[in-house]
Amino acid sequence: MERFLQIAPHSLAIVLRRDGTLPDETQHRHTGYEIFADFKAENMQHFWNKKVTEAVEETFFLGWIDEHVLLIQGKEEHLEVLRESWTRRALKAPRGFEIQCIGESVRTLISS
């Protein structure tokens, strides 16, 4: 039987992949918070879509896992706007990255 454990309510995991546009010496110098700040900066320019701008503005840094997963937290309606924006390929990745997928980070599978 599968069991689930809630880790963080109202959160998203943004799985990133390095795109190779940054020089090798700078690729590993970013902290998770710096990558989150760049994610916000890249997406705050949605002047044509106020919902996306507001959603990005209202999210918070939650964590950085294994140099590939950015965890963010916010109100559920803001996270839904980000999910929809990514589905339409309108959500931008931080510089030097591509977004592979976005998923719920509220649950993790625990082996029985």
Q: What is the pLDDT of residues 2-36, one digit of tens each?
A: 444 456 778 999 999 998 776 655 555 579 999 99
Q: Is 39 a residue whose pLDDT tops 50?
A: yes
Q: 20-29 long-range CB contacts below 8 Å, 24 or more apart?
A: 21/95, 21/96, 22/95, 22/96, 26/96, 27/96, 28/67
3-110 CATH pick, 3.20.20, 1.25.40, 2.130.10, 3.30.70? 3.30.70
Tell me which of 12-16, 49-53, 105-109 is least confident.
105-109
Which region holds residue 61: left if phi is over 0, alpha if psi is between -120 and 50, else beta?
Answer: beta
> What was the pLDDT predicted at 24?
58
**Helix or strand (DSSP H, E) at 54:** helix 50-57
What is the per-residue pLDDT across 91-104, written as a single tens digit (0 to 9) for each? 999 999 999 999 87
Predicted TM-score of the model (pTM) = 0.79
- pLDDT above 70 as % of the chain: 79
